[in-house]
Amino acid sequence: MKSLPKSLLLIAVIISLVTLSSFAVQRYLAEDEVSDSILIRPEFAIADLNGQVRNIKEWDGQVILLNFWATWCPPCLSEIPGFIELQDQYGDQGFQVIGIAIDEEEAVREFVARLKINYPVMAVEHEALELSSRYGNRMGALPYSVFINRQGEISDTITGELSKIEAEEMLRKLDFKP
């Protein structure tokens, strides 16, 4: 019986390792998505930029877009104007955007004033990473957005930039009318 040349054996081992690692990464990322089971949103209470402590329960009965972002994150900054428009467009239908900035308060305050952000923003540095993890962001990626339905259940999580069009599609799934 002939044995395989060492180079072919090495290639076979490398292909196997790549396949297994790709499978492992795919499984890990799939765990980050909301499964078919119902996930109730974790509670939190954080002071907003005005010093008022805001509790997530304050918005019970509304659809919430909880957005984790930072002033130094270009994709985060490009999605915020769309969120401002969405708050204007759907706020009277029971929709609320909430921003959790993983950043220094002064930088956030300046950015919020410049863009005239029309929804509550909380500036929390390191604790926000733990909070985003509780909402399913195991990789600590930014931006990270969470849709919470009127029953307080997490309906969708989005890692990466969320366009206004994509957000509106999710809102339609939650019975919002354009």
Per-residue pLDDT, 33: 44
In this model, does residue 159 exceed pLDDT 80?
Answer: yes
Say if residues 63 and 95 touch (Cβ distance below 8 Å). Answer: yes
- Whether cis (ω within 30° of 0) applies to the bond prior to 120 is no
Per-residue pLDDT, 126: 81
| pLDDT bucket at 177, cuts 50 / 70 / 90 | confident
DSSP string of the chain, one letter each residue: -PPPPHHHHHHHHHHHHHHHHHHHHHHHHHHTS--SS-EEPPP-EEE-TTS-EEEGGGGTTSEEEEEEE-TT-HHHHHHHHHHHHHHHHHGGGTEEEEEEE-S-HHHHHHHHHHHT--S-EEE-SHHHHHHHHHTT-TT--SSEEEEE-TTSEEEEEEES---HHHHHHHHHHTT---
Query: Of 106, 105, 88, which is closest to residue 97 (Cα–Cα)?
Result: 88
Per-residue pLDDT tens over the stretch 67-126: 999 999 999 999 999 999 999 999 999 999 999 999 999 999 999 999 999 999 999 988
Average of per-residue pLDDT values in the chain: 85
3-state secondary structure 117-153: CCCCEEECCHHHHHHHHHCCCCCCCCCEEEEECCCCE
In this model, does residue 18 exceed pLDDT 70?
Answer: no
Per-residue pLDDT, 25: 42
More confident call, 74 vs 129 = 74
More confident call, 106 vs 2 = 106
